[in-house]
Chain A
């Protein structure tokens, strides 16, 4: 009887390890960050292409392009050399209401980081791109600590795909 229990425990543990080990869907980050934290996330020396889209739930062109970003992310998200980060510029008080609601209804899988640094906009906006004056959406591509490309305005699905193919 004891050996049976051990056997069952063994099989169960094996199943848990395999299922956990094989689970490709990592936990989604959904939190407010400061600019310094955001930079340390996207500027890692890990050979990964970080596709960083600045958006907000109130921004109409952002919401128009978001489904295209999610479609492209679905194609690439298992690629270890790729990561998409959606940087929300909503008010920090809206993170767990409006932003969370959009994440749920649109089934957003990429990490969503709310950049809670309104008082330092005049510092961090030029650090992302010197010519950017703050209109969104914009999308920046980072790899190994360097920004490879910066785009102001909407991107179509095919434009985004081509940019990822070029820089990944």
Chain B
């Protein structure tokens, strides 16, 4: 059966070649150059390191409005754009509570801001935020960017997205932008604590080693960004 085996192999392969040569080739569009889709989105400019961050007055889960100016005695802030629904944000909830526990006493309290359009994500509405804050024991203000006017100024694009601010000559200066640490999946296996390192450096008056980091997150939901 040796010869038929080889012959069969050849037939099998040939039949494969024949069939694939008739495979569907999509029609070429002659005018592809003119048809380049307009898919470049306007990017929110946002802050760079060293920029002055804007203050705001946003509703909190406590029923009051909160501004950075309400904290005259702090040295700065850990502003975190976060929300109820995003699994990344949820994975960081306890770490955000821990950050506030550690750094509010050292002059850098956490201010959490939920940036999503609540008509797109009702789970991120103020009532649901109130429940989450209570359930998780949030010790920091949890605010809603209800007109979605603050997050674009900061240049937040996802949740969680952190901005460490330092008070310098009465201004809130952006010192760090990015992730909280380098392992959202497992808090016990973190090897880089970006936000803690940044705030520790500010407290010591040292240069921040890593000023910006990138991480995956949930894109901020905003109908104005829809094409």
Contact = CB atoms under 8 A, between A and B. Distances in A.
A135 B41 CA distance: 13
Contacts of A79: 23-26
B216 A121 contact: yes
> Which of A119, A126, A131, A156: most chain B Cβ within 10 A?
A119
Interface string A65-103: 000000000011011100000000101110000000000
20 contacts: A9-B1, A13-B4, A13-B5, A18-B12, A21-B12, A59-B219, A60-B121, A61-B219, A78-B23, A91-B87, A118-B185, A119-B191, A120-B182, A121-B179, A121-B216, A122-B215, A152-B41, A153-B225, A162-B29, A166-B32
B15 A21 contact: yes
A135 B37 contact: no
Contact of B28 (A13, A78, A154, A165): A165
A8 interface: no
Nearest to A121: B215
Contacts of B23: 24, 78-80
> Which of A13, A78, A125, A133: most chain B Cβ within 10 A?
A133
Contacts of A17: 8-9, 11-12, 15
A75 B27 CA distance: 11
B221 interface: yes
A25 interface: no
Instruction: Report the interface size class on chain A.
Output: 35 or more
B220 interface: yes
A135 B220 contact: yes
Interface of A: 6, 9-10, 13-14, 17-18, 20-22, 24, 56, 58-61, 75-76, 78-80, 89, 91-93, 118-122, 125-126, 131-137, 151-156, 158-159, 162-166, 168
B107 interface: no
A134 B24 contact: no
Contact of A132 (B20, B121, B214): B214
A80 B20 contact: yes
Interface of B: 1, 4-5, 8-9, 11-13, 15-16, 19-20, 23-26, 28-29, 32-33, 35-37, 39, 41, 43, 86-87, 121, 157-158, 178-179, 182-186, 189, 191-192, 213-221, 225, 227
Q: What secondary structure prevails in chain A residues at the interface with B? A: helix
Nearest to B213: A122
A121 B214 contact: yes
Contacts of A78: 20, 23-24
Contact of B37 (A80, A92, A163): A163
B93 to A, nearest CB: 15
Nearest to A163: B37
Contact of A76 (B26, B157, B215, B227): B26
Contacts of A80: 20, 23
Contacts of A168: 26
B192 to A, nearest CB: 8
B158 A134 contact: yes
A109 to B, nearest CB: 15
A135 B217 contact: yes
A158 B29 CA distance: 13
B214 A133 contact: yes
A136 B219 contact: yes
A161 B15 CA distance: 30
Given A21-B12, A122-B182, A162-B37, A134 B215 contact: yes
A46 B50 CA distance: 45
B4 A10 contact: yes
